[in-house]
Structure formats: structure tokens, C-alpha cells
Amino acid sequence: MFLLQAAAQSAGEVKFDQLIERLLDMSVSAGKHILAAIVIYVVGRFIVKLLNRMVRGMLERRNIDVGVQSFLRSLVNILLTVLLVISVVSALGINTTSFAALLASAGVAVGMALSGNLQNFAGGLIILLFKPYKVGDWIEAQGVQGTVKEIQIFHTLLTMGDNKVVYIPNGSMSTAVVINYTRNETRRLEWTIGIDYGEDVNKARNAILEVLAADKRVLNEPAPFVAVGALADSSVNLTVRVWVNTGDYWGVYHETFQSIYDTFNQRGINFPFPQQTIHLVKE
């Protein structure tokens, strides 16, 4: 009986020693995986930052549009971060195949939930590829006008004339009509100037041409155009067209009105005002 108890005690001690040894082996193995994962994470973060700086420098050297730069930098950073996470998970000994399948399933679910945003993402790529507008352009789209402040992954940001910021989905921007007012270097200005019936049209025309010739911002080619545009109810309307650099558009537009008004007053050219002739019939 004593011999049996001693044998059982000896067997228990052997199993305990084996358990301790197995735990130690597992700890050492887990420690190696954790240490490798930490090293990969630290080195990976350094490499990700280095690659991000390289991408930023490359984009800046090529003078790529600011909106395209921010879009591409954020996209590259996301992709590099995902690769780093997968590498760290693999170093921990987790099966990356099942992890990738889990990510794919989650991606499908998120994609179905965010189908509208995926459309906006695709619209952003189309905008960056075909460049109907860029950061700094003044455009009109979706019933609003403003300066393009930023082209984000899902939205285009417009700053309106009163400094309000409008977020427009890229999906609609890529399919809707967009008017770009600053795409070309020059633009045509047009005014309608009315004079009284009975005024000398040539005198008014020459006065307007002198005003335009005195403004150095008005381009000589194409030459300014002044002609009778319509015989209205109370006025003879002169159509005035000139070409200016895009940056001078609004300055020339408003200041020319003031100059024509002052010149007409100095030369006695009368502006019209609505009037109606009434005939009284006596019975």
C-alpha cells in the first residue's frame, strides 16, 4: 500500500513538472511572438512615417494640386497602416488568412451600409482624374457658387462669397453640370448701357470707348465692342463687351460702371428713365 502511494505521488510530481515545463515553453514562445510584434510595430511605424514623408515630398516636387496631394496622402497612409496591422497580427502567430477573411466580410458589410459614400469616393477619384476644377477655382454647381477650398475623399468644400462653407458630395459633383469661372486665363465682360432716345449714339459710343481705352486692365485683343443692342421701351441700349484677365473681372466690372456714369454726366449724355405718354381724349 505504501509503495502504491509513493508511486502515485511520484507520477503526480512528474505531471506537475511537465505542466510547468510546458507553461514555460508556451511563455517563451509567446514572449518571442510578442517581442517580434513589438519590433515590427516600432520599425513599421518608422517606415510608414518615412514613406509618408517621401510621398509628400514627391507630390510637392511635381507641383501636384493641393487637393490631389491631401487625397493621395490620406489614401497611402491608410493602406500602409492596414499592412502594418496585418504584419503585427501575423507576428503574434494569428492566422492572417482568417483575419483577412474577417476583414473582407467586414468590408462587404461596411460597403453595403456606406454605398453612398463609396459612390462619393468614386466621384472624388473621377474629379481628381479629369480635373473639372481644382483648389482655388471659382465654380458653380448644385445651385451654389464659391471657391473650391478642398477636395476631400467624399466631399468638395466650397467657400461662398459671404464666407459660408458648403459641403457637396463628390458623387453628385462628378455627374452634375459644373461651371468653372476661373479655368481660363481670360473672361469676357458685358454691360448694357441705356441712353435717351434722341441722343447721339456715336457720341455715347466714343465716350464708352475712351473709358475702356483708359483702363489698362481691358485687353486690346480681342478689341472692345460697343454697338446698339436693342431699342427698348424707354431707351436705346448699347451693348458693351470687353475681355479681361480673370483676376480683374469684378474690379473692371464695377469700376467701369462708375466711369461711364461720370463721363456721361460730364458730356451731357442723358440716361433714360421709365416714362409713359398719356393722351387725354375730350368728348
Whether domain 12-113 has CATH 3.40.50.2000: no
Whether domain 186-266 has CATH 3.30.70.100: yes
Domain assignments of the chain as residue spans, ordered by start? 12-113, 132-180, 186-266
Q: Is the peptide bond before 222 cis (omega within 30 degrees of 0)?
A: yes
User: Is the Cβ–Cβ distance between 149 and 200 less than 8 Å?
Assistant: no
132-180: CATH class: mainly beta
- Tens of pLDDT along the chain (283 residues)? 544 455 455 555 556 566 666 666 666 666 676 777 788 788 888 888 888 888 777 777 777 666 666 667 777 787 888 787 877 777 776 665 655 666 666 555 555 545 567 788 788 888 888 888 988 899 999 889 999 998 887 889 999 989 999 999 988 888 889 999 999 999 999 999 999 988 999 999 999 999 999 999 999 999 999 999 999 888 899 999 999 999 999 999 999 999 999 999 999 998 887 766 677 776 6
Name 51's Cβ contacts closer than 8 Å, sequence gap at least 6. 76, 80
132-180 and 186-266 agree in CATH topology: no
CA atoms of 276 and 195, how far apart (whole Å): 16
pTM (2 decimals)?
0.59
How many Cβ atoms are within 10 Å of 61's Cβ, its own excluded? 8
